[in-house]
């Protein structure tokens, strides 16, 4: 930098010197001419000199003025000259591009694909990993709360918390300026036949204060509306919902919207793309206690073990996250002690609060999609490198053809720096045009990627924003420099004389040829890496699909229903009559589903697999504590008799629930295999006693054991689960209707939907979904990995094949004469073809080997994302090696065919 | 818009900013036109131009030689004239000035304006009827 400044100053001084000399010379000439004129008129030399100076005016002042003027002009001319040169170079570059249209198109499309793929991936990574949640002020100071029971299971982090925990934290005003609590709910809007589902988020007023978000219209909740007491129903609409359903009407404030059967007054509209602390879109924000009865609200504070809420908080100024976590841990302990836990029990669990800021690098570290996105970033970079290798190869091939032109220009005295600039400009122009194509590719690819990778509210935003655009430009410049450097130096280093002599027949120099073959090897290696990655992910996906779920989703469907107009919660605190009414309604709906032709069985339950679960404390006689696995629990579900039949879970021993397991009948329960093995190892669990709740509660007898089912994830550790008959579940009401079909479940869903909807007047929208729909999102990381790797590998394969083809085709065109002579001398077709393709295929072969090596070396990076799949799996190579071989042979086939058809006489006459 | 025309536009803009930043006073402007008129004849060096003005006005115009050079440099910056070193008939090194196309256009416009101006002022100043009082 300093050197450049010095150089700039030097140039300026040089320029001033030259200008001053010119001015002095001109004045001197003028004075001399004037003196001669005056002398010729008869003046003496002395007088003439004095007169000349007098006529001229103040010499020194004029001189200074002229120098200043001339310096300014000279500086100005310098800029004009540079612009002129640039104009010339640009038009020359454009002419070059237009002349070799095929070459230009190939380079631009290749670069466009490479840059576009990278820009699309960057866009997704940007939103997943780089950008904090929208409209959150200073997200580094907002923390989400979770805890870990260090002495029970240190590896399990409990992120879903209970209401009393929120109250404990709320008391620490010195540490947290605002403590927000929220819970996602499925709600619906409208009434009668017009009911439509929508996503809601229950939150308190401090939730928005903690995030620092301001609404675009109206206001968020006040503490009265969204505190711990019930109030008039209000709602704040999501921006997207407001635009989509209400046409962005600014007069929406004060309007009443029927949400889950109750009219809600709209008091505000959230800003665009605001999704709170998460990534999921929200249609309507509702006060935390929305739809809760006074009794339910009053009971919230007593339900320490009911984990249903997310809690976040803004740290007070000057409080470090570590200190805040310590304060929160102490606050929780105080709360638990106040709720009756003994010191011994507290010690035993060793609960420790963990705070994670909303900064994406912290908050989304463990999201599988984010991990996949990171990997995709690396993969797309490989594709970009491959693109560069390809373009470089094309450039080199063209460089050979242009060698004569370059030589002529050098011979004509164009200086090498200027020539280099010209060549660099060619590359830059190509790569920038490639960047333009890339932006279009990113627009299309990005939309697809966001739809699969991100939630729909994020997907609604434009996939090409200013950051993606900036990235594309940077990528284009990077590729321009990278692809232009070697060919440019190659062109300049070539031997002037021989280039001129060889003329249009210019052949590959040994060095250039080596570079080109090496580039082919690089392409082969990168393609191999990508193909192996694809193989790993495809195998993982197939293994995942084969994982036993403990139930069979293929012919089952379910509907989560809300018959009361309140947000579903297992602890509804409804009156006895209300609960009885709800049970009766669900029983009727179950009968309606079962009566549908094609339905083989139907059931009702508290919850369906993969829909989340509820944990509850229990006591086992003869044991001090209830052992659970690291997954927590024990989880429980309340189900009707046919439940296991409907979801396809096997009864391992004992029996399922029957119609005789009524409320008045003896209490019974069913446990899963893990619970049986953990609680009664080596014994028959059937007939054992479990107390649901406290040790003083009555016995419930185990009547059966069912196989383990998955709870939330496809890959998860075993957990303990118990089932109770829905009729014996006091305080609990069903919320899910499930049914099993004989034939295709998809065909029957609309039929059952209509029947359920018309079975009960005033029922909200009945959303019937196949059970498989709950599982697909859990497989997204692998599906995505396989799909994206596959797409990139295909792109790489096409690019590499194209590179191989172009190099060989070019070689043959260059060696036409030589091939013709060999043919005339009697060389067989086979020998000629071998000669041509050997070099290319050798390069690819070496690339293949190197690629396998690279994949093995990089295996550690992908391993955590794979499922029971190893790089050592032979099947991958059985897939990759033949693919590379076949594609390479196809790419060489046409050039080889051309070589075999070289006509000796024509080739020789050509010169 | 091709890159070439963009470069051209840039160049023009640059030059225009240069010109408009320096308003010319009337006398300076007049001298510029006179110098251009000299160059319309043929390419000249500075002293030839000064001599041409002195011959044409019989030395009656009070202009220093330096002012002529200032006019030349000013017009060179504006692209109205172009200078290059050459040799005189006495084999001396001298800086010759040539009028550019822009200079020619400038001369045409300024000459027309000057003639209009002097016609108007002359019309105003010349007495239409001889004054009786003087008689």
User: How many angstroms separate the CA atoms of A85 and A782, rounded?
Assistant: 54
CB-based contact A748:A699 (threshold 8 Å): no
A62/B contact by beta carbon, under 8 A: yes
Q: Return the DSSP state at A667.
A: P
Query: pLDDT tens digit string along A39-65?
Result: 998 888 988 888 888 888 888 999 999
A51/B contact by beta carbon, under 8 A: no
User: How many angstroms separate the CA atoms of A113 and A441, rounded?
Assistant: 7
In this prediction, residue B12 carries a pLDDT of 54
Beta strands A556-560 and A767-770, pairing class? antiparallel
Q: Which residues of A touch B94 (CB under 8 A)?
A: 26, 29
Contact A80 B11 (CB under 8 A): yes
Q: Minimal Cα–Cα distance from A9 to chain B, Å?
A: 22
**Tokens of residue A831, six digits:** 């020998």
CB-count burial class (<10 Å; 0-12, 13-18, 19+) for A756? buried
B2/A contact by beta carbon, under 8 A: yes
Q: Which residues of B touch A80 (CB under 8 A)?
A: 11, 14-15
Instruction: Give the rounded percent of residues in chain A with a pLDDT score beyond 70.
Output: 89
Q: Which residues of A25-37 are buried (b: 16+ CB within 10 A; e: fewer)?
A: ebbebbbebbbeb
Strand partners, A721: A635
Closest to A443 measured CA to CA, from A127, A123, A126: A123
Contact A76 B7 (CB under 8 A): no
The HSE-up count of residue A313 (CA atoms within 13 Å, CB side) is: 31
pLDDT band at B20 (very low <50, low <70, confident <90, very high): very low
CB-based contact A270:A216 (threshold 8 Å): yes
Q: Minimal Cα–Cα distance from B86 to chain A, Å?
A: 11
B76/A contact by beta carbon, under 8 A: yes
Nearest CB to B18 within list A70, A76, A86: A76
CB-based contact B46:B72 (threshold 8 Å): yes
The HSE-up count of residue A296 (CA atoms within 13 Å, CB side) is: 20
In this prediction, residue A460 carries a pLDDT of 47
Contact B4 A70 (CB under 8 A): no
Within 8 A by CB and 6+ apart from A735, the residues are A560, A561, A562, A568, A605, A606, A607
Contact A29 B69 (CB under 8 A): no
Tell me how many residue pairs between chain A and chain B have CB atoms under 8 A apart: 82
B77/A contact by beta carbon, under 8 A: yes
Within 8 A by CB and 6+ apart from A748, the residues are A557, A596, A598, A599, A741
The dihedrals phi and psi of A256, each to the nearest 5 degrees, come to: -110, 135
Interface probe with A: pick from B1, B2, B4, B96, most Cβ of A within 10 Å? B4
CB-based contact A808:A844 (threshold 8 Å): no
Contact A29 B10 (CB under 8 A): no
The dihedrals phi and psi of A175, each to the nearest 5 degrees, come to: -100, -40
A64/B contact by beta carbon, under 8 A: no
What is the Cα Rg of chain A in Å? Answer: 39
What is the Cα Rg of chain B in Å? Answer: 19
DSSP track, A575-624: -HHHHHHHHHHHHHHHHHHHHSTTEEEEEEES--TTS--EE--EE-TT-S
Residue B1 has pLDDT above 50, yes or no: no
Contact A90 B7 (CB under 8 A): yes
In this prediction, residue A97 carries a pLDDT of 83
CB-based contact A391:A804 (threshold 8 Å): no
Nearest CB to A90 within list B4, B45, B46: B4
Query: pLDDT tens digit string along A183-200?
Result: 888 788 877 666 777 888
Report chain B's terminal Cα–Cα distance, integer Å.
Answer: 73
Q: Which residues of B touch A90 (CB under 8 A)?
A: 3-4, 7
User: How many angstroms separate the CA atoms of B38 and B97, rounded?
Assistant: 10
Contact B73 A73 (CB under 8 A): yes
A70/B contact by beta carbon, under 8 A: yes
Q: Which residues of B touch A73 (CB under 8 A)?
A: 73, 76-77
User: Which residue numbers in chain A have pLDDT < 50?
Assistant: 1, 456-460, 504, 506, 570, 911
Within 8 A by CB and 6+ apart from A325, the residues are A352, A353, A354, A355
CB-count burial class (<10 Å; 0-12, 13-18, 19+) for A714? middle
Strand partners, B107: none
User: How many angstroms separate the CA atoms of A631 and A644, rounded?
Assistant: 22
Nearest CB to B66 within list A29, A57, A72: A57
Within 8 A by CB and 6+ apart from A327, the residues are A172, A175, A319
Contact A66 B73 (CB under 8 A): yes
Nearest CB to A26 within list B4, B46, B67: B46
The reply to whether the predicted model has a pTM over 0.80 is: no
In this prediction, residue B98 carries a pLDDT of 94
Q: Return the DSSP state at A698.
A: P
Strand partners, A764: none
User: How many angstroms separate the CA atoms of A437 and A443, rounded?
Assistant: 10
CB-based contact A114:A479 (threshold 8 Å): yes
3-state secondary structure A831-864: HHHHHHHHHHHHHHHHHHHHHHHHHHHCHHHHHH
User: How many angstroms separate the CA atoms of A66 and A20, rounded?
Assistant: 9
Contact A69 B50 (CB under 8 A): no
In this prediction, residue A908 carries a pLDDT of 65
**Tokens of residue A839, six digits:** 């070099």
């Amino acid at each position: 930098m300093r050197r450049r400044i010095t150089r700039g100053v030097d140039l300026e001084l040089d320029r001033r010197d030259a200008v001053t000399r010119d001015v002095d010379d001109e004045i001197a000439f003028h004075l001399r001419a004037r003196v001669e004129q005056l002398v010729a008129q008869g003046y003496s030399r002395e007088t003439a000199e004095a007169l000349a100076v007098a006529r001229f005016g103040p010499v020194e002042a004029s001189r200074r003025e002229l120098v200043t003027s001339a310096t300014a002009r000279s500086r100005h001319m310098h800029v004009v000259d540079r612009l002129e040169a640039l104009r010339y170079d640009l038009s020359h570059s454009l002419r070059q591009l237009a002349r070799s249209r095929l070459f230009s198109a190939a380079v631009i499309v290749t670069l466009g694909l490479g840059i576009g793929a990278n820009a699309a991936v960057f866009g997704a990574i940007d939103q997943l990993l780089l950008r904090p949640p929208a409209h959150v002020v200073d997200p580094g100071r907002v923390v989400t709360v979770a805890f870990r029971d260090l002495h029970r299971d240190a590896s399990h982090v409990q992120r879903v918390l209970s209401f009393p925990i929120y109250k404990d934290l709320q008391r620490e005003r010195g540490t947290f300026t605002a403590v927000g609590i929220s819970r996602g709910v499925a709600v619906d809007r409208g009434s009668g036949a017009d009911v439509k589902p929508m996503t809601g988020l229950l939150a308190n007023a401090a939730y928005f204060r903690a995030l620092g978000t301001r609404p675009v219209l109206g206001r968020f909740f006040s503490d009265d509306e969204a505190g711990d007491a019930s109030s008039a129903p209000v709602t704040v609409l999501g921006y997207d919902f407001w635009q989509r359903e209400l046409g962005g009407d600014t007069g929406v404030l004060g309007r009443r919207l029927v949400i889950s059967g109750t009219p809600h007054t709209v008091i505000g509209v959230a800003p665009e793309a605001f999704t709170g602390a998460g990534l999921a879109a929200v249609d309507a924000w509702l006060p935390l206690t929305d739809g809760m009865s006074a009794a339910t609200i009053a009971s919230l504070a007593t339900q320490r073990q009911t984990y249903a809420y997310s809690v976040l908080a803004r740290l007070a100024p000057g409080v470090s996250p570590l200190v805040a976590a310590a304060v929160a841990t102490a606050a929780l302990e105080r709360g638990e002690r106040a709720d009756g836990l003994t010191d011994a029990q507290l010690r035993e669990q060793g609960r420790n609060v963990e705070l994670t800021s909303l900064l994406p690098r912290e908050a989304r570290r463990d999201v599988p999609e984010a991990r996949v996105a990171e990997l995709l970033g690396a993969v797309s970079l490989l594709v970009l490198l491959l693109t560069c290798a390809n373009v470089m190869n094309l450039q080199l091939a063209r460089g050979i053809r242009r060698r004569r032109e370059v030589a002529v220009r050098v011979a004509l005295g164009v200086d090498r720096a200027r020539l280099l600039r010209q060549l660099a400009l060619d590359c830059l122009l190509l790569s920038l045009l490639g960047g333009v194509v890339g932006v279009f590719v990113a627009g299309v690819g990005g939309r697809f990627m966001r739809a699969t990778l991100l939630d729909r509210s994020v997907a609604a935003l434009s996939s090409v924003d200013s950051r993606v655009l900036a990235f594309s430009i940077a990528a284009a410049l990077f590729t321009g420099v990278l692809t232009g450097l070697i060919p440019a130096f190659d062109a300049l280093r070539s031997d002037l004389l021989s280039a001129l002599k060889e003329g249009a027949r210019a052949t590959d120099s040994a060095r250039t040829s080596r570079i080109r073959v090496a580039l082919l090897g690089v392409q082969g290696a990168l393609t191999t890496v990508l193909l192996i990655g694809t193989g790993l992910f495809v195998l993982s996906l197939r293994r995942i699909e084969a994982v036993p779920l403990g139930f069979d989703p293929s012919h089952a469907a379910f509907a989560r229903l809300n018959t009361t107009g309140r947000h579903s919660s297992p602890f509804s605190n409804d009156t006895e009559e209300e609960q009885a009414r709800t049970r009766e309604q669900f029983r009727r709906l179950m009968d309606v589903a079962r009566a549908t032709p094609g339905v083989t069985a139907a059931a009702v339950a508290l919850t369906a697999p993969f829909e989340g679960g509820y944990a509850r404390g229990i006591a086992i006689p003869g044991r001090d504590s209830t052992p659970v696995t690291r997954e927590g629990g024990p989880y429980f579900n309340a189900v009707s008799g046919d439940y296991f039949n409907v979801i396809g879970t096997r009864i391992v021993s004992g029996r399922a629930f029957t119609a005789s397991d009524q409320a008045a009948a003896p209490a019974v329960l069913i446990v899963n295999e893990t619970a049986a093995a953990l609680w009664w190892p080596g014994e028959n669990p059937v007939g054992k006693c479990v107390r649901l709740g406290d040790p003083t509660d009555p016995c419930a007898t185990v009547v059966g054991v069912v196989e383990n089912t998955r709870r939330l994830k496809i890959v998860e550790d075993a957990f303990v689960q118990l089932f109770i008959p829905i009729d014996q579940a006091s305080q609990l009401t069903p919320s899910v209707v499930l049914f099993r079909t004989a034939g295709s479940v998809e065909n029957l869903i609309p039929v059952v939907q209509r029947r359920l909807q018309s079975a009960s007047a005033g029922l909200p929208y009945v959303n019937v979904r196949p059970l498989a729909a709950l599982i697909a999102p859990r497989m997204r990381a692998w599906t995505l990995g396989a799909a994206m790797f596959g797409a990139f590998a295909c792109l790489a394969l096409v690019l590499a094949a194209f590179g191989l083809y172009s190099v060989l085709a070019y070689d043959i065109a260059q060696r036409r004469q030589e091939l013709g002579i060999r043919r005339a001398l009697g060389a067989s077709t086979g020998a000629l073809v071998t000669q041509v393709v050997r070099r290319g295929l050798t390069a690819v072969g070496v690339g293949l080997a190197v690629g396998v090596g690279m994949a093995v070396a990089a295996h550690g990076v992908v391993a955590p994302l794979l499922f029971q799949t190893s790089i050592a799996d032979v099947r991958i190579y059985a897939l990759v090696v033949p693919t590379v071989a076949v594609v390479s042979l196809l790419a060489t086939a046409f050039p080889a065919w051309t070589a075999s058809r070289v006509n000796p006489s024509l080739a020789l006459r050509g010169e | 818009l091709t890159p070439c025309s963009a470069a051209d536009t840039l160049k023009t803009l640059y030059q225009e900013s240069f010109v408009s930043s320096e308003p010319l006073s009337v006398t300076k402007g007049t001298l510029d036109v006179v110098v251009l008129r000299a160059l319309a004849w043929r390419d000249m060096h500075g002293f030839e131009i000064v001599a041409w003005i002195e011959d044409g006005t019989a030395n009656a115009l009070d202009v220093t030689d330096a002012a002529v050079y200032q006019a030349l440099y000013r017009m060179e910056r504006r692209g109205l004239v172009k200078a290059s070193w050459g040799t005189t008939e006495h084999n001396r090194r001298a800086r010759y000035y040539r009028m550019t196309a822009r200079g020619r256009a400038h001369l045409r416009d300024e000459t027309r304006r000057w003639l209009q101006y002097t016609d108007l002022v002359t019309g105003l100043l010349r007495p239409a009827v001889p004054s009786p009082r003087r008689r």
